[in-house]
Amino acid sequence: MMDKDALTAWALKNGWEMIGGHPSLAKPNAPKEAIVRLVFKATVVALEVKKPAGKWEKVGGNSYAKVTPPQDDDSLPAGLGFEKVPSITKLMQDSRDRKVFSAFG
């Protein structure tokens, strides 16, 4: 089981950023515009993707009790539907790279 704090800590450690109050992944060419986010409610967490028209669509999610921690540093928590976002690992890597290189600027 992962609660809001554990999921937030995992996300921030893995390249996600807080945008609009949610752990989010941004467009590589527009780093301040979130395109994937985690939305926390009292008992559930939702995985949302921004559609081209600008509206957020829930693509996955679960109750905190059904979200399991990642198996290792390179994997994703299970139970949220990350597999429905095929580019999720690429977006996470792009975000981590952007953070590293911004430290040099």
Indicate the domain borders of the chain. 4-102
Q: What is the chain's mean pLDDT, rounded?
A: 94
Looking at per-residue pLDDT, the higher value among 86 and 104 belongs to 86
Region 71-89: mean pLDDT is: 93
Region 3-17: mean pLDDT is: 96
What pLDDT, in 10s, does the model give residues 37-56?
Answer: 999 999 999 999 999 999 99
The encoded tokens of residue 74 equal: 């390179």
Region 30-34: mean pLDDT is: 90
Region 69-81: mean pLDDT is: 93
Spatial neighbors of 24 by CB under 8 A, at least 6 apart, are 16, 17, 18, 34, 35, 36, 37, 38
* Position 102 confidence tier, pLDDT thresholds 50, 70, 90: confident
The encoded tokens of residue 30 equal: 């527009």
Q: Indicate whether 103 pLDDT > 70.
A: yes
Q: Indicate whether 100 pLDDT > 90.
A: no
